[in-house]
Amino acid sequence: MAGQLNVLNALDVAKTQWYHFTAIVVAGMGFFTDAYDLFSIANVTKLLGRIHYTHKGAQKPGTLPPNVSMAVNGVALCGTLAGQLFFGWLGDKLGRKKVYGMTLALMVCSSLASGLSFGDTPKGVIATLCFFRFWLGFGIGGDYPLSATIMSEYANKKTRGAFIAAVFAMQGFGILVGGIVSLIVSTAFDHAYKAPPYNVNPDASLVPQADYVWRIILMFGAVPAALTYYWRMKMPETARYTALVARNSKQAALDMSKVLQVEIVSEQEKVDQISMNDNNNFGLFTRQFVRRHGLHLLGTTTTWFLLDIAYYSSNLFQKDIYTAVGWLPPAQTMNAIHEVYRVSRAQVLIALCGTVPGYWFTVAFIDYLGRFFIQLMGFFFMTVFMFALAIPYDHWIKKEHRIGFLAMYSLTFFFANFGPNATTFVVPAEIFPARLRSTCHGISAAAGKAGAIVGAFGFLYAAQSQDKSKTDAGYPPGIGMKNSLIVLGVVNFVGMLFTFLVPESKGKSLEELSGENEDDGGVVDYQDLAPSSATATRTVPV
């Protein structure tokens, strides 16, 4: 069996260079946009309820009805799931680069269109908003498998985990900037158009200009995506796709010679030899895939599914959790725009205290502690802190304990991001063969979004009070916030158990992990030398 291709070995042993950071920024800005677009909707849903569903004479301002709230919060997640499956598959068929531009263009157009949602009735505005947010999610979905796969195939094996995690960590900045933009826009409008609280003057508390606030916030998501479009189109196709899937050694060597600024010799004969091996030809729906990677795919899909139930429940409905514990004042004591400000301020504080630091702790430690340890640790502490919030819940809702609640709640986000929220993204980009890598990452990510949909829809109903008189308008009684948090704690614990199905990928080449260098005798051949060094081969049993 032929050993590792020189062009791939050159990538594995390359020192950290400027092109690594360029790739992180270009791929990461897609994830910045993803997080901004997915989570900024949480800052404006209360405003949408006031604008379109406030009834004259009501004691409280309007809120989105259950079916409308589910649609607004969940339709982008449905689009994301579909996009992850479709673009993941397409990335393995057409190549990473060809598909990469499509997803970004779709995100830019759909972000702008979301803010331009039109209609003469509330139903018309919400329907067009949901339509555009579905396609926004569809583009976002494609960014998951493509960005992860591109970064993993560009990176060296020593710091690959940190590079992929750094791309994903841009999500934290997207969530943070989403809150900051909402703060700036709401503050500007609140100062420009003075309005009394709802309980003082219901009609005057909602100024006509409030309709611009949510539109500007949603449309801003197009800016970072548009800024990186040119650079995405300039990126060459990854050498692993070109050599192992397209089987064009000359082009792979040419592309990477420019990127790495070293001379790399084309090895078409070796590429042909690798491609003829049965180990490099089985498809996704084959016994051989199930035998080699079936448990791996089960592990990556289940852990991502379980994580996102808890993560998206907590993220999309932060405003409801804050209201339940009294951290946000009652809606009727604020005007419509000031409520956006208060919700956004809470999101920014949580992002600064827990979300952003957690992502970058993963970047710093993933190649030292390993993916398995960080994921197991993250699920464990998410379980601990969720139960610590839920079991003494009556303690936390007292006014004097709200700061403690904020600290504990921030820690659940910290260990989600210094834990499974990052590792579930990293590992599927490393352990599957190049010809199936984008597809398998898309399947794993889609399982995560299925969990997000369960969390987004389920939490909306489950967190309602058990006392019918205290439920939001239009909602049946639920199991209450305390029991909902207990359920999320159990979900995190089960995620910890399924982590044992996921292999450790620290410090190994992608071909070593996927078995693409494996011959029929079960031995992996690879060269551990820079392209300018003399060739030496050693064998490692698999």
CA distances from 346 to 35, 266, 320, 341 (A): 17, 55, 11, 9
- What are the tokens at 224? 């970072």
Cα 218 to chain centroid distance, Å, stands at 18
What sections of 370-466 are H helices per DSSP?
371-390, 393-396, 402-417, 420-426, 434-462
Which range is least confidently modeled, 178-192, 258-272, 336-350?
258-272
Q: What is the mean pLDDT of residues 361-375?
A: 95
Beta bridge partners of 317: none
In this prediction, residue 504 carries a pLDDT of 93
What per-residue confidence (pLDDT) applies to 354?
77
Q: Longest Cα pair distance anywhere in the chain, in angstroms?
A: 83
Q: Which amino acid is at 54?
A: T
Radius of gyration of the chain (CA): 24
Report the C-alpha gap between 48 and 65 in whole angstroms: 11
Q: How far apart are CA 55 and CA 58, in angstroms?
A: 6
In the block, which residue shows the tokens 């051989």?
Answer: 288
Instruction: Say what angle helices 268-276 and 249-260 make with each other, to 10 degrees.
Output: 120
Q: What are 405-462's pLDDT values in tens digits?
A: 778 878 888 899 999 999 999 999 999 999 999 999 999 999 999 998 888 778 777 7
pLDDT above 70: residue 36:
yes
Residue-wise pLDDT tens digits, 123-150: 999 999 999 999 999 999 999 999 999 9
**Of 188, 226, 16, 194, which Cα lies nearest the Cα of 112?**
226
Which comes out higher in pLDDT, residue 492 or 474? 492
CB 386 within 8 A of CB 488: yes
pLDDT band at 478 (very low <50, low <70, confident <90, very high): confident
Top-ranked range on mean pLDDT: pick from 285-289, 398-402, 457-461 = 285-289
Is the pLDDT at 2 greater than 50? The verdict is no
User: pLDDT averaged over the chain?
Assistant: 85
The predicted pLDDT at position 318 comes to 60
pLDDT for res 531? 34
Q: Could you tell me the two tokens for 97?
A: 């680069």
- pLDDT in the model for residue 437: 95
DSSP-based three-state secondary structure for 15? coil
Look at residue 316 in the predicted model and tell me its pLDDT: 57
Q: Which amino acid is at 390?
A: A
- What is the per-residue pLDDT for 536? 34
Closest CA relative to residue 11, chosen from 286, 239, 171, 332 = 239
Q: What is the average per-residue pLDDT within 472-484?
A: 76
Express as a percent the part of the chain with pLDDT over 70.
91
> What's the confidence (pLDDT) of residue 90?
94
- Give, to the nearest 10 degrees, the angle between helix 210-219 and helix 336-350: 30
**pLDDT at residue 326 above 70?**
no
Q: What whole-number distance in Å separates Cα of residue 231 and Cα of residue 225? A: 11
**Residue 266 near residue 250 (C-beta atoms within 8 A):** yes
Residues 82-106 have a mean pLDDT of 92
More confident residue, 541 or 187: 187
Other CB atoms within 10 A of residue 283 CB: 10
Q: Return the minimum-mean-pLDDT range out of 16-30, 313-327, 334-348.
A: 313-327
C-beta separation of 113 from 172 below 8 A:
no
The separation between CA 469 and the C-alpha centre of its own chain, rounded to angstroms, equals: 37
Closest Cα partner for 438 from 31, 85, 166? 85
Task: Specify the DSSP class assigned to residue 518.
Answer: B
* Cβ–Cβ < 8 Å for 178, 39: yes
Q: What is the structure's pLDDT at 525?
A: 38
Checking if the pLDDT of 5 tops 50, the result is yes
Chain length of the chain: 542
Of 84, 501, 498, nearest to 303 (Cα)?
A: 498
pLDDT digits (tens, 9 = 90+) for 247-276: 888 898 888 888 887 888 888 888 888 777
Cα–Cα distance for residue pair 238/153, rounded to 1 Å: 6
Lowest mean pLDDT among 236-250, 316-330, 352-366, 480-494: 316-330
pLDDT in tens, 236-248: 888 889 988 888 8
Per-residue pLDDT, 309: 92
Question: Do the Cβ atoms of 85 and 142 come closer than 8 Å?
Answer: no
Match 């406030």 to its residue by tokens.
Answer: 54
What is the C-alpha to C-alpha distance for residues 37 and 242, in angstroms, rounded to an integer?
Answer: 32
- Mean pLDDT for the stretch of residues 292-319: 86
* Beta-strand relationship, 523-526 and 538-541: antiparallel
Phi/psi of residue 523, each to 5°?
Answer: -120, 140
Residue with tokens 């956004």: 344
pLDDT at 522 over 70: no
Q: What is the pLDDT of residue 530?
A: 34
pLDDT class for 325, splitting at 50, 70, 90? Answer: low
Span 81-99, average pLDDT: 93
Q: Does 263 or 112 have the greater pLDDT score? A: 112
Secondary structure of residue 207 in the 3-state scheme: coil
DSSP state at residue 499: G
pLDDT at 542: 29
